[in-house]
Amino acid sequence: MLDKAEVKTLDKVVVRFSGDSGDGMQLAGNIFTNVSAGVGNQVSTFPDYPAEVRAPQGSLSGVSGFQVHIGVGVHTPGDKADVLLAMNPAALKQNVRHLKPGGIVIVDIDSFKEADLKKALFATSDPYKELGLNAQVLEVPVTTMTKAALQDSGLDNKAMLKCRNIFALGLVCWLVDRPLEQAIHHLQNKFAKKPAVFEANAKVIRAGYDYGANTHSSVSTYRIQSEEVRQGYYTDINGNTAISWGLIMASEKSGRPLFLGSYPITPATDILHELAKRKDLGVKAVQMEDEIAGVCSAIGASFAGALAVTSTSGPGLALKSEGIGLAVMAELPLVVVDVQRGGPSTGLPTKTEQTDLMQALYGRNGESPVVVVAPASPTDCFTMAFEASRIAIEHMTPVILLSDAFIGNGSSAWRVPEVDEYPEIHPRYVPDELKDTWRPYQRDPQTQARYWAIPGTPGLMHRLGGLEKDFTTGNLSIDPVNHEHMVRVRQEKVERIADDIPLLEVGCCPDADTLLIGWGGTYGHLRTAAEQLCREGVEVAFAHFRYINPLPANTLEVLSRYKRVICAELNTGMFADYLQSRFSPLQVERINKVQGQPFLVQEVVDGVKNLIK
């Protein structure tokens, strides 16, 4: 028996769970994340689903991964893993590139038989040598030990094998010093309606933890530092759930009932699932027959006085474009949530990109301006969903919320806010003094937003529609001068929203000559890259955009301060092109990636250094 190696105290550590898509890696990773958030660690996760519906078991294309970064100062899921759990040879082969040199690999040695190696296309019987593995390898008979722990449970063989992931979770909890009782508490919540399944998994997770502790395994173990956090109730939350809760908060703060008209589409479907659970809060979530019906039902709900939302991904946003144009013409509040994925067409449904930006800005016929905002992280999805709702209601306009698969599926530790931390939302109702003379397109002189007349209000009977309206009377109009006036008023209404959003802030090394910028879900990677560059003596300022249209009022002033502006985004340069078109002769240099994967921090660091050279 080998002696156990020393315990290393680290400020952060990255763990990657990997196995077949049916091996429960997402569940194990989520429980591990929740436990880590519960002990005060910052967390950031990256669920990496296979794009195939159900690839053959043990094949390379069927590997599912879940990477989690825990500790202090965590803003990304980490470039490389300190610990890799591989439940079979295919998982090892697909994920070894994500492992740090000298890191720890835990394998279920029961799944490394000759047939398993052949399925993963290994040419030899020594996968470690064939991969050139530079790691501490911990071979554990996960399958055998799981069955042994459950031999008196009364479960059949298939049910026992479903617990392998929880045995592995127990082993990882031992390795990085996670409190086992908290993990068991999460299992109890997960299987509250299946007590026999909970008892089996509680027994197995203890067996995994005890295996590591009792065998004195000769790998490094970790103790992770935590930092003092603001007092409150914390939970692990993913971006899609945060969007759902942010919409509910906006409904409470505006006094308008929340309606979601949606059609299932990866990776946005979880928003529909989450809101469908909230009938207790007055939410009406309706699964429509298609994307067009989804947006049209939301427009009808908005006309009727609801906080109306429709959720989708890129292909669905294309189908909704005519409906969004109708909401622009009718000047109704509408929130369109687009959780971006790889394209074009059906593209890469489970992968992340930022390739819907131009579609959000311009993807409608006619002069059809809408507000576009983008959350920066899973937890920021709550704030920006609230903001999208506030802007839509107070300025009577459609708002597109551009999330993405990375932050939609990824999660972070989140302090549940108090109700008074978010402002009241003030619907733009028809003022009492105007009710006798009101017409449908009368406007608030400060914002140019038209007033919201809720059907059923005495004296406010009116019609809206997709044909152009007269500026004064609200009747149908084909007068060319009136049409141009209405086009410019609708544009001015959106532009004035710049006075109602925060200014752009600059961090890291604000007095540098080079400014690194990005937008949306790349925030964590770009901020970490900028901080690393500054530590290395390469002075770089950093600014991140959450408001895309209109841009913050000080955008040109900020960009003009720097000799070099570098934009990093997960597309071929859409935001850089947008800024150059708005602020000519501004020149924006680019770091781009279109692989269905988020940036690695090192990719951004290297990209900035190369451009500066």
% of residues, the chain, pLDDT over 90:
89
Q: 55 falls in which pLDDT band (50, 70, 90)?
A: confident
Domain boundary among 387, 421, 455: 421
Q: What is the mean pLDDT of residues 322-344?
A: 98
Tell me: do 559 and 579 sit in the same domain.
yes
In a domain, 607, yes or no: yes
Tell if the pTM clears 0.85, that is, is over it. Answer: yes
| pLDDT on residue 232 | 82
Give the residue carrying structure tokens 């449904």. 349
Tell me: do 18 and 48 sit in the same domain.
yes
Domain that holds residue 200: 7-224
Tell me: do 216 and 246 sit in the same domain.
no
In a domain, 489, yes or no: no
Tell me: do 379 and 253 sit in the same domain.
yes
In a domain, 523, yes or no: yes
CB-based contacts of 271-279 (< 8 A; 24+ apart in sequence): 271/240, 271/243, 271/244, 271/311, 271/337, 271/339, 272/311, 274/240, 274/241, 274/244, 274/245, 275/244, 275/247, 275/248, 278/244, 278/248
| pLDDT on residue 141 | 97
| pLDDT on residue 6 | 59
Asked if 114 and 88 count as a contact pair (C-beta separation under 8 A), the reply is no
Q: 223 falls in which pLDDT band (50, 70, 90)?
A: confident
3-state helix, strand, coil in the chain (%, to 5): 40, 20, 40
Tell me: do 201 and 261 sit in the same domain.
no
Identify the weakest region by mean pLDDT among 5-9, 165-169, 322-326, 503-507.
5-9
Q: 227 falls in which pLDDT band (50, 70, 90)?
A: low
pLDDT exceeds cutoff 90 at 51: no
Whole-number Å distance between alpha carbons of 60 and 62: 6
Upper half-sphere CA count for residue 274 (Cβ side, 13 Å): 19
Whole-number Å distance between alpha carbons of 365 and 241: 32
pLDDT digits (tens, 9 = 90+) for 434-487: 999 999 999 999 999 999 999 999 999 999 999 999 999 999 999 999 999 999
In a domain, 36, yes or no: yes
In a domain, 136, yes or no: yes
* Amino acid (1-letter code) at residue 358: M
Tell me: do 11 and 121 sit in the same domain.
yes
In a domain, 65, yes or no: yes
pLDDT digits (tens, 9 = 90+) for 538-555: 999 999 999 999 999 999
Token couple for 218: 């000769």
Q: What is the mean pLDDT of residues 116-139?
A: 95
**DSSP-based three-state secondary structure for 64:** strand
CATH code for the domain of 77: 3.40.920.10
Tell me: do 177 and 129 sit in the same domain.
yes
In a domain, 262, yes or no: yes
Tell me: do 172 and 258 sit in the same domain.
no
Query: CB neighbours of 59 closer than 8 A, spacing ≥ 6?
Result: 90, 119, 120
Q: What is the mean pLDDT of residues 161-190?
A: 94
String of DSSP letters for 20-48 = ETTS-HHHHHHHHHHHHHHTT-EEEEEEE
Tell me: do 64 and 134 sit in the same domain.
yes
Q: What is the mean pLDDT of residues 99-127?
A: 95
In a domain, 488, yes or no: no
Query: CB neighbours of 51 closer than 8 A, spacing ≥ 6?
Result: 348, 349, 350, 351
9: number of Cβ within 10 Å: 10
Q: What is the mean pLDDT of residues 507-520?
A: 97
Asked if 407 and 271 count as a contact pair (C-beta separation under 8 A), the reply is no
CATH code for the domain of 295: 3.40.50.970
Domain boundary among 161, 189, 224: 224
pLDDT exceeds cutoff 90 at 221: no
Tell me: do 170 and 310 sit in the same domain.
no
pLDDT exceeds cutoff 50 at 2: no
Q: 230 falls in which pLDDT band (50, 70, 90)?
A: confident
Q: How many domains does the chain have?
A: 3
Tell me: do 544 and 583 sit in the same domain.
yes
Domain boundary among 421, 455, 487: 421
Q: What is the mean pLDDT of residues 563-573?
A: 98
| pLDDT on residue 313 | 98
Whole-number Å distance between alpha carbons of 507 and 544: 9
Q: What distance, in Å, lies between the first and last C-alpha atoms of the chain? A: 53
CA trace torsion 291, 293, 298, 302 (10° rounding):
140
Tell me: do 335 and 304 sit in the same domain.
yes
Whole-number Å distance between alpha carbons of 474 and 451: 12
CA trace torsion 529, 532, 536, 542 (10° rounding):
60
Token couple for 486: 């209405």
| pLDDT on residue 52 | 66
pLDDT digits (tens, 9 = 90+) for 268-311: 999 999 999 999 999 999 999 999 999 999 999 999 999 999 99
